[in-house]
Each structure stands twice: as structure tokens, then as C-alpha cells.
Amino acid sequence: MDKRNWKIVYTNYSGMEKKAVELVSKEMGALTLRDAGVYRIYVLPCESAKTASLDRNCVIIGLFDENEIIRKYVSREKIKENGYVVKVFDNPENTEFKLAIITANDPAALFYGATDFVDDYFAFAFPFHGSLMLPHELFSHPLKDYYNASAPAIKNRSVFTWGHPINDYKNYIENMARLKLNELVIWNDYPPINAEDIVSYAHEFGIKVIWGFAWGWSRDCAAFDFNTLEKLSEDIVKVYEERYENISGDGIYFQSFTEHNSEKIGDVLIAEAVTKLVNTVSGKLLQKYPDLLIQFGLHASSVKNHLDFIAKVDSRVEIKWEDCGSFPYWYDNWNKTDESFNDTLKFTESIVNLRDNGAVSVLFKGFMTLDWTGDRFVHQAGPYVMGVNSDKLTKNDRNLLKPIWKNYQTFWFEDGVSAHTVARKIYESGKNAGIGLAGQFAGGIWFPEALCAQILWECDKDYDEIIKKVLKRQNVEIV
């Protein structure tokens, strides 16, 4: 069967629907490049669903309500909330050919369906010769039948990162979307001057951008003067208005003086003081900007025994918890015991249920972090251009970080099931809590982040099924 007899039939070529069409076209084209060692250009025809006929193998991409062809072969009730359907089957109009349908009720989910098709279905459908997998012969044979109706178990799937290690913001955002992640929290000393471009590009892929900055937090929290809380609250509002009010974004994120292993700074209880600060500053900001999304990055290590104070945090503020116990809340699993993990699960349950109202998320770690030692880390000196670095610098960083990823990869091979257990606990709580990945992900789609992202998407599924799916993906970096 001629490889060229495939075409894409699309409903709409704009927004995330356009991104879905482009992704399928790019990945299908890439798989036809090599034929017996000969490289050639392959152009995949694309036709509008308004005029297309099903006269050959077709990939049909479109929203359910906008595509009559799709409604003939997919039932509305099969599409779950925020989910998609991918279906590959014999073409009813000509059984010599196949139809592949990718559909959803909203554009973001449609794009996620396209990622399922090119990353998970293709890996499932690749032909084999003995034990040798032959990806480039995929379209030399009739495709295998397939059906997957999928939807996110965790609705808010975020990434927390620092801005300056992002070398290529477009590639970074594209990789996030490929992993079905939908919120990016970026920490900077100063907002980048190309913030508008970053937010606009993220929105093209259905990703919210949250700008992070400090509320009375420094590298030496112990030096904090609690007598200055009122003055500090005024300064924080001023920083917001001078640096963030007039740039695009979907909210702000902050950390304060909770990154401690002790409960007090001097004779002041951190949980009590930080609650007072958060409520004071948030009250001032929300009085002037009632639609502002505020996220509170809270280190559990200093407040875990005084949750009665944290329960009083303004319900309009989302709390993003980190350092909540053993792996996956910490960078490695070497010190984890069954007892410590049971404590971690219990604490997770307590913080998810802490407030009757008010959004809550947790941050998983075990990913690439920054090197804070000696003079290797330098704070930003001022506003800068984020994520538009040279190819030489990008390549250098990738080569530097790649062997280090082997260490993090080991943690996730050994104990990714712990992340799955925690995520399922959160999912089964019914509280609609979010989960984020905290780390530095520039330079590719690395196995730890791919595995964790898929856990967030389908922690309602068995862990063995999830890890096998991720290991088969051609775009996942395994070092």
C-alpha cells in the first residue's frame, strides 16, 4: 500500500485545532522519511472536512459538534469531560483503507488527542520484524485498530520553574503541551521584557502563565524582621503594580519565609506570621484587583504542626504546597521508608482537606534543580529577554545536564509508583486539587517529567500501564 495515500481531513485550522493538525502532519511526515535508506520529501495532503471525501486512508481531526463525519462514527457520550477520543478502524466506505478519528469537545482536549495519536498510538502500532521495531514502515501496512477515550484525572497540571534556565521558551511550551500540562509558573527576580510574547505563545497551547516573585522571602529567611510586616505588605503591592499589573499573565505566585526545617524564626511562629502576611497582602491586592489569581507557594516543613493557622489563609488564595514529606515531595527517595511514606500520605490527605473553600495544589519534586553552591548561581541583575538564547548555549546546557538526568531518572524508575500512589490519593479525595512538577526541564522531554505528567493525566489507571506507555514513546529522553 502506497505510503502517500494518507491525508488529513480537518474541521478548523486555527487556534489549538491548528496545532493539532500541524502536530499530526509533522509526525506522520517524519515517519515516512526513510525507505530502504533513501531519504525523500513527503507532503501529506490536508483537506477541509467541508469538501473532503473518504477515498483513501484519512486522519480526521475536529471538534465533535463541528464535524458531521466524526458524528457518524463516534458517540457524544463517549467523550468525557475535558477529554478526547482517538479511534482507528476500517474505512466503512472502502475497507481497503483506514480511518483515524481524533475528536473532543474543546480545542485543548483535541490537541491532547493528537498527542495520544502520535506518541502513544504510533508506538502501539509500529510493525516488528522479529524483535526489531520498524517505525518507518508504519504506513507501509494497514494500521492496527485502536480506541481510547481519555480525560484528565487531575485537571490542573502545572510546572514550576525558574525563568533563566529556559533557553527556548517556544520549545519549552510545546513540550509542556505535548505532555498535556496546562499551567506554567515562572519564578524571576524581574519579569522578562518579552513577557507578552511568552504568555501569548503559551495561550496558543492552552497553557496559563503565572508570574512568581518573593513576598518577604530571601536566601536567608532567618534574617527576616517580623516587625516590618505592615511595611512589607505595602512594598509587595507596590512591586505588583510596578512590575506585573501591566503585563499579560493569568495570575501571580509567591513564596515567603516558610522554607525552613524549624517552626520559628527567633521567637515568632512561622505559620502564624505567614498567614497574617498572606491575608494582609492578598486583602489589599484583591480589594483593588478582585479578579487577580494569587497562588501561595508554601513549604510544609515549617508549618506542618500548625495547620490550624494555615486553615485561616484567605479562601481566595490558592495554596501550592511543597516539601510535604518523602518522595515525590523531595528530590530523591534514598531516605524513604514505609513509615515515612505513610506519614506523607496522611499529610497529603490533611492538606487537601484543610480548607472547605480555597483551591489547593501540591508540587512534586525529583527533577532537575539549580546549582545553588558557591558562586555558581547568580541572581538576575534586572529585566531580561527570557528563552531566546543561542543554539550554542542551548546545546551546551543540554550536554551539561543530560548525564545529571540519569540520577533523577533512577529515582523515578525505582519509585515512580510512589508519585502514582500520592496522585491517586489526591484524585480519589474528590477535592479537585492540582498537582505540579517543580524543576528545570529545558532541553527535551526527559523520562521523569514524561512519567510524572502521564501520572497526573491518568492516575486512575494502573501504574504498570502508565510506565509502559511512557517508555515506548519515541520523543522521551532516556539516558
pLDDT digits (tens, 9 = 90+) for 192-235: 999 999 999 999 999 999 999 999 876 556 566 777 888 889 99
Q: Which of 7, 13, 1, 87 is nearest to 44 (CA)?
A: 7
Query: One-letter amino acid identity for 155?
Result: K
Q: Find the farthest-apart pair of alpha carbons in the chain and give their distance in angstroms, rounded.
A: 79
User: With 70 as the cut, is the pLDDT of residue 34 above it?
Assistant: no
Q: In this model, does residue 379 exceed pLDDT 60?
A: yes
Cα separation, 389 vs 385, whole angstroms: 9
Name the more confident of 218 and 28: 28
Q: Which of 301, 300, 346 is nearest to 320 (CA)?
A: 300
The alpha carbon torsion through 208, 209, 210, 213 (nearest 10 deg) reads 170
The residue type at 114: A
Q: What is the pLDDT of residues 353-370, one digit of tens each?
A: 999 999 999 999 999 998
Secondary structure class of 406 (helix, strand, coil)? helix
pLDDT the model gives residue 1: 46
Q: What angle do CA 467, 402, 213 make, to 5 degrees?
A: 90
Side-chain half-sphere exposure of 38, counting CA atoms within 13 A: 5
Sheet strands (E) in 323-371: 360-364
More confident residue, 38 or 140: 140
CA triple 122-56-474, angle to 5 deg: 10
Buried-exposed string 280-309: b where 16+ CB fall within 10 A, e elsewhere: bbbeebeeeeeebbbbbbbbbbbbbeebeb
* Pair 122, 474: CB distance under 8 Å: yes
Q: What does R_g of the chain's alpha carbons equal in angstroms?
A: 24
Buried b (16+ CB within 10 A) or exposed e, 153-162: bbebbbbbbb
Q: Has residue 290 got a pLDDT over 90?
A: yes
Residue pLDDT, tens place only, 156-185: 999 999 998 999 999 999 999 999 999 999
CA distance 88 to 71: 15
Q: Residue 145: pLDDT above 60?
A: yes
Of 420, 417, 418, 431, residue with least CA distance to 460: 420
Q: Return the exposure string of 17-46: e unless at least 16 CB atoms fall within 10 Å of the residue's CB, then b.
A: bbbbbebbbebbeebbeeeeeeeeebebeb
Residue 33 scores a pLDDT above 80: no
CB 118 within 8 A of CB 109: no
Please report, rounded to a whole number, the percentage of residues in the chain having pLDDT higher than 70. Answer: 95
What global pTM score does this model have? Answer: 0.95
Q: Which of 338, 307, 340, 304 lies closest to 322, judged by CA? A: 304
- Gap between the Cα atoms of 394 and 392, Å rounded: 5
| Identity of residue 351 | I
Percent of the chain whose pLDDT exceeds 90:
80
End-to-end CA distance of the chain: 36
User: Distance between CA atoms of 208 and 259, rounded to whole angstroms?
Assistant: 26
- 301-344 pLDDT, tens per residue? 999 999 999 999 999 999 999 999 999 999 888 878 888 999 99
CA 23 to CA 122: how far, in whole Å? 13
Helix axes 391-429 and 463-472, enclosed angle (nearest 10): 160
